[in-house]
């Protein structure tokens, strides 16, 4: 079965640079979520989109922005990168916003290292 | 504020030694409780969704149960390949997922 696709899988950036992470949800899934997971920590919710509109906002820094496109893929844009931004970034997708459909399926993650 | 705690933080079992992992939660208006398995450097892999107290779900050696305050993930006769971090997450009325810190399970051959 098709899964969530994330690219790139690994990314190395310098401080103050920008980065763009991409997420392609499971086909027919219309909701996308972004999470940040630091070493040894649980995933922290950043932001989510439903039907191309921002639906919920978590602990996303002002330096980050995201959007969902007409084909439902999503991009997380990160500017003025800091050392503390080094983490695994996961995207998850779900089908709709009804209770029975909200199970989130996670992608393999993008490992970002800021030097 | 929705909160999730998990215990124990880490658990070492011998192969075949059954045990249970605990997930305690406080949430306003539970929409769902989710169990995931995560291997190092990989994305969380979905295991179960539970929606109401009394509900139980099983998959191979795993069984998840739910009460109004906590969920248990029972592992029967575990194998070394069951070694992973097991994450519990809840979704309340606010709709965001809140993850617990996870339980690191090691199953020794």
Per-residue pLDDT in tens (0 to 9) along chain A, 115 residues: 789 999 999 999 999 999 999 999 999 899 999 999 998 888 999 999 988 999 888 889 999 999 999 999 999 999 999 999 999 999 999 987 654 557 889 999 999 999 9
Chain A residues whose CB is inside 8 A of the B36 CB are: 106
Strands across the sheet containing A19-24 = A5-7, A19-24, A74-78, A64-68
Backbone angles phi, psi at A83, to 5 degrees: -55, -35
Chain B residues whose CB is inside 8 A of the A58 CB are: 96
Q: Which residue does chain A place closest to B29, by CA atoms?
A: A99
A111 contact B CB<8A = yes
Determine whether B109 is exposed, middle or buried from the number of CB atoms within 10 Å of its CB (0-12, 13-18, 19+).
exposed
CB spacing of A43 vs B34 below 8 angstroms: no
Contact A33, A93 (CB under 8 A): yes
Say how far apart CA A113 and CA B33 lie, in whole Å: 32
* Among candidates B51, B96, B101 on the partner chain, residue whose Cβ is nearest the Cβ of A99: B51
């Amino acid at each position: 079965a098709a899964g969530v696709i994330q690219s790139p899988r690994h990314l190395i950036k310098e401080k103050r640079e920008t980065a763009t992470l991409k997420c392609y949800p499971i086909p027919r899934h219309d909701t996308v979520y972004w999470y940040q997971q630091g070493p040894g920590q649980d995933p922290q919710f950043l932001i989510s989109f439903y039907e191309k509109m921002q639906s919920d906002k978590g602990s996303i820094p002002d330096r980050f922005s995201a959007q969902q496109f007409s084909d439902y893929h999503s991009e997380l844009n990160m500017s003025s990168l800091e050392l503390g931004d080094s983490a695994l970034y996961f995207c998850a997708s779900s089908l709709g916003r009804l209770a029975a459909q909200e199970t989130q399926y996670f992608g393999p993650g993008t490992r970002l290292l800021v030097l | 504020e929705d909160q999730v705690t998990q215990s124990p933080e880490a658990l070492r079992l011998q192969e075949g030694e059954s045990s249970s992992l605990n997930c305690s939660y406080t949430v306003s208006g539970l929409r769902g409780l989710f169990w995931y398995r995560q291997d190092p450097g990989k994305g969380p892999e979905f295991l179960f969704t539970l929606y109401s107290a009394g509900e139980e779900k099983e998959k191979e050696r795993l069984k998840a149960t739910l009460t109004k305050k906590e969920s248990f993930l029972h592992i029967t006769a575990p194998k070394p390949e069951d070694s992973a971090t097991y994450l519990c997450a809840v979704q309340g009325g606010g709709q965001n997922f809140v993850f617990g810190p996870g339980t690191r399970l090691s199953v020794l051959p």
